[in-house]
Amino acid sequence: MSPSDKIRVVIVDDIAETRENIRKLLQFEKDVEVVGAARTGREGIEVTRQTKPDVVIMDINMPDMDGITATEAIRKTNPFTQIVILSVQGDPNYMRRAMLAGARDFLTKPPTVDELSAAVKRAGKMAQEEREKMPASVQSAGGVSGSGGGAFDGKIIVVYSPKGGVGTTTLVNQSGGGVTQCGDPSCDCGRQSSIWGCSGIPE
């Protein structure tokens, strides 16, 4: 496998032992290459800007800037880079905030080898697919330009599932009245649904 085919990873954690343990776990994956590491959220943003990795493994609790804030910043400047959040707490609120910030996955510390490997490969595949779709001018600039830059003329909506499973997500715009047909593939109720799923409102 050529270096260009490998999933490029940056590790961001304020504990040196954790960074080293994650690096050791990933070194056995032939299709993964650790290209950088950082001790803080701010360092993580800078290392990501310089290395443009496919995946960032991000601790959620760090002294200078938490992982959620750093995730938001990285996704703005490197939109193809996918973030895998690590947390000692499996708190659903943390998970929700992380996904809203743009994280691709959420793992509880310490992750197993299989959990970490699967999350990195899922995120890496998505990063490479997004990178291929992105104009070369945007990739080299390291970010998405607004209407003034001329790269894109529109908005991007990204929907994440913290479970990483399959299903149907319903998006409702502000002028759409707030309800659509139920989009749950396992549900045959024929009812309307809100953006959060089946609402139990008959047609």
pLDDT digits (tens, 9 = 90+) for 140-167: 555 544 433 333 445 556 665 555 544 4
Say if residue 196's pLDDT is above 80. no
Beta bridge partners of 11: 37, 57
Output the pLDDT for position 202. 41
Domain ranges, ordered by start, for the chain:
3-141, 166-203
pLDDT of 92-102, one tens digit each?
Answer: 888 888 889 88
Output the pLDDT for position 128. 87
Would you call the peptide bond into 110 cis, given omega within 30 degrees of 0 as the criterion? Answer: yes
From the list 202, 177, 179, the residue with the least C-alpha distance to 190 is 202
Say if residue 179's pLDDT is above 60. no
**DSSP state letter for 3:** G
Mean pLDDT, the chain, integer: 76
CA 25-30-35 angle, to 5 degrees, is 70
Q: What is the CATH number of domain 3-141?
A: 3.40.50.2300
- Strands of the chain (E only): list them: 7-12, 32-38, 55-59, 82-87, 105-108, 180-181, 192-194, 197-201
Output the pLDDT for position 28. 87
pLDDT of 22-67, one tens digit each?
Answer: 999 998 899 999 999 999 999 999 999 999 999 999 999 898 899 9
Q: Which pLDDT band holds residue 195 (cuts at 50, 70, 90)?
A: very low
Output the pLDDT for position 147. 35
Q: Which pLDDT band holds residue 16 (cuts at 50, 70, 90)?
A: very high
